[in-house]
Chain A
């Protein structure tokens, strides 16, 4: 029975795993947290594999659970002081190379600092949108109406822009060049 459950899990979740991981990385901003997050989603998917097999769109279910787990994570972080809170720079630095301009690295550093200071729901909406999901798909994942999504995305972008400007004050080009 375990074997069939595992096979069902691989068949249902496997094709969506990369999409889950990419979204998880944008949500959390850290590879290790993204791995934790997708693992939690996988475990829940395994528990519910019988139900998941019957769905037309398992990816929607998986991303919905992932979104909920991430947004709900704010409460967890408060309850679990051993776990790093949302105060660590986000996104691994791109490997330096000829294709990486100083400006691009600077922009990356600014976002890295600003991202964790954004609210979790705002991060989730911006991250999923950046993954290419449109409003219909975002509605399916988050359960938020399209009208509210549009307003919240706009507010999230304006808020992020403000945080980027603030980050700019403490991260200079000179610092990156050293």
Chain B
């Protein structure tokens, strides 16, 4: 190791599932020359699974992760089905897909809005926005932006003011508010924050959509080798309707808020403008 290099250890890495440790070496110009990532927890779920009845793998493998819980559940059960050459009914496949995709959509929305977006959107910046202009600006990225009337934006702005004044609030704590690396205009910040708040509700609805066919989330409980168990829910028009209603609402949100907001953000943070 050269004398001018420095080693930095970051442990724990927060905002992830699992115990992750990163060690890096940087040279005199603060450029990383070497990096190591290591998981600091071993539980041995594979060892625990060994020797058990293959049909039981789902409920145990599922516990590998409480965040992407359904994929371990489904994958382990599918693996058993593949090994025994079992074909599952078409309806079961559909239900499995509906659950997986609901979680997929939810993960994306959360990841984008609630875990990442505040690195790009300045909450306090939105307070200086002109609401009429914001409503108009939003139309650059969507023909019918999601919940975009002047009045609604005005109300959102008021809420944000109250929110910022409220002091110590987990959701928005620890931001770099007002930093000049933020590139959105006050109006763009407001449009984005409007959808940030809407997304909170949308996520909650998606959790319900998962639970309709999977019993609960995290750690859903609706699969067995050979198919799904939630046949009563599948045959219940009210449950189908509830699910459909949520998905339609989410789709609307994605088309009129999520995708336009992404385009807006990408445009503002392009490397060359």
The answer to whether A and B assemble together is no
Binding site for A on B (CB under 8 A): none
Residues of chain A having any CB pair with chain B under 8 Å: none
